[in-house]
Amino acid sequence: MVHAEDRGATGSNSENRGQISFKEDVRPILQIRCLECHSGNGQGVVESGLNLESYESLMRGTRFGPIVIPGNAMVSNLNVLVEGRAGIRMPHNRKRLTSCETTILHDWVNQGARNN
């Protein structure tokens, strides 16, 4: 059986770091660090349309399109922004995520961005 993480996403070495769970690993990071602005009528929702309250709304992305490309963290805007690879960085005007947190988000996307 071939799992998503075996498909060899760009530059990924996530297969050595174990399975990431959306509910147990990813969601708590979004809740603590992002929902302040990316839920309800928060500033991030108003300005970009991105709501991070649920898996479905995360996968819907901004009003310009998806921020998660399953299997490819290198091009997923979610990862580009929290890893500081773009002109703007998230969380906006807040302390940046720890490398542990960005690694969790990176591996989750490379493992297929599943609602697991």
Among 14, 20, 33, 55, binds ligand HEC (CB under 6 A): 33
The token pair at 11 is 């530059």
Q: Per rule CB under 6 A, is residue 77 in the interface with ligand HEC?
A: yes
C-alpha distance from residue 9 to each of 50, 51, 101 (Å):
25, 26, 19
Nearer to ligand HEC, 7 or 94 (CB): 94
Q: Which is nearer to ligand HEC, 15 or 80 (CB)?
A: 80
Name which of residues 35 to 54 contact ligand HEC (CB under 6 A).
36-38, 43-44, 47-48, 50
Burial of 12 (0-12, 13-18, 19+ CB in 10 A): buried
| Residues 68 and 59 sit within 8 Å (Cβ to Cβ) | yes
Judged by CB under 6 A, does residue 93 bind ligand HEC?
Answer: yes
CA–CA separation, 12 and 90 (whole Å)? 22
Kindly list the residues in this chain that would bind ligand HEC in the complex (CB under 6 A).
Answer: 33-34, 36-38, 43-44, 47-48, 50, 62, 64, 67, 77-78, 81-82, 88, 90-94, 97
